[in-house]
Amino acid sequence: MTKMPAATVSEALATRLSVRDFLPAPVPLPLLQSILTKAARAPSGGNLQPWHISVLTGAPLETLLQAVSLRQAEMPKGEAAEYPVYPANLGSPYAERRFKIGEDMYALLGIARADRDGRRAWFARNFRLFGAPVGMFCFVDRQMGAAQFSDLGMFLQSVMLLLREAGLDSCAQEAWSMFSPTIYQVLGTPANHMLFCGLAIGWRRPDAAVNTLVSDRADLEDFACFQGFQP
């Protein structure tokens, strides 16, 4: 898996993966500003552009990470979740997919299923952004619904592909929704904004085993059907 910049959209798609071990090297502000400006060309129903973004590095990021870490010590299961990250009774084949990606990742890390403390400690690395120097937090106006969450997804994917074009990597993180009240407090988030997810941004650590995790995808015929085409 290359960490070279992607030259085409196909290359950006092929080389994007959730990176979970980053180098501490800083990311220049003008680069992030340019990426977010370009990503805002993402389409949205009715051109609502319902995304609201906070990008943190340095001292403000450390303040947030510290606050969340303190909260996590008090409430390891998180504060009140604002939206269901997964449906309550996740059915097949989704439950199996979710289980498999977790098991594949822990196998690479050498953390056994029985090692609950090891898995908890690894999960907690979410709240250090896996060592990334930049955290991007995505909010949506509370009046929005499912359709606008999908708009946010298009914006996010655009950011992630543009990051690849610049040689950077990322990991989307819904885990942050577990501590949204603390995030609102530290960032002074307007009351009408709701956190969707975080995005760890930085350069991947090339020798980290966890960064070699290649997630499965269903075959084309399992999720798409085509009708009316000439053979």
Ligand X SMILES: Cc1cc2nc3c(=O)[nH]c(=O)nc-3n(C[C@H](O)[C@H](O)[C@H](O)COP(=O)(O)O)c2cc1C
Interface contacts to ligand X, rule CB under 6 A: 17-18, 20, 101, 126, 171-175, 197, 215
- For ligand X, the closer of residues 136 and 171 by Cβ is 171
* Minimum distance of ligand X from residue 71's CB (angstroms): 16
Distance in angstroms (rounded) separating the CA atoms of residues 225 and 228:
10
Comparison of 28 and 218: residue with beta carbon closer to ligand X? 218
Question: Chain-centre distance of CA 104, in angstroms?
Answer: 18
Taking alpha carbons only, the member of 135, 158, 136, 137 closest to residue 44 is 158
**CA–CA distances in Å: residue 206 to residues 20, 24, 129, 161:** 11, 13, 17, 19
Q: What minimum distance in Å lies between the beta carbon of 171 and ligand X?
A: 6
Torsion of CA 215, 20, 57, 138, to 10 degrees: 30
Whole-number minimum distance, CB 170 to ligand X, in Å?
A: 9
Name the residue nearer to ligand X (CB basis): 29 or 95.
95
When the beta carbons of 70 and 85 are compared against ligand X, the nearer one is 85
Residues 6 or more apart whose Cβ sits within 8 Å of residue 144: 48, 50
Name the minimum Å distance from CB 161 to ligand X. Answer: 12
Residue placing its CB nearer to ligand X in the complex, 2 or 29 = 2
Supply the minimum distance, in Å, between the C-beta of residue 45 and ligand X: 18
Residue 103 and residue 123: Cα distance in Å, rounded? Answer: 13
Which of 186, 72, 185, 169 minimizes the C-alpha distance to 127?
Answer: 72
Of the two residues 30 and 117, which places its CB atom closer to ligand X in the complex?
A: 117
In the bound complex, what is the minimum distance in angstroms from residue 47's beta carbon to ligand X? 22
Question: Shortest Cβ distance from residue 5 to ligand X (Å)?
Answer: 18
Closer to ligand X by Cβ: residue 17 or 162? 17
Instruction: Using alpha carbons, select from 88, 203, 70 the residue that is nearest to residue 124.
Output: 70
> Residues 139, 141, 145, 151: is their CA dihedral positive or negative?
negative
How far apart (Å, rounded) are the C-alpha atoms in residues 38 and 92? 37
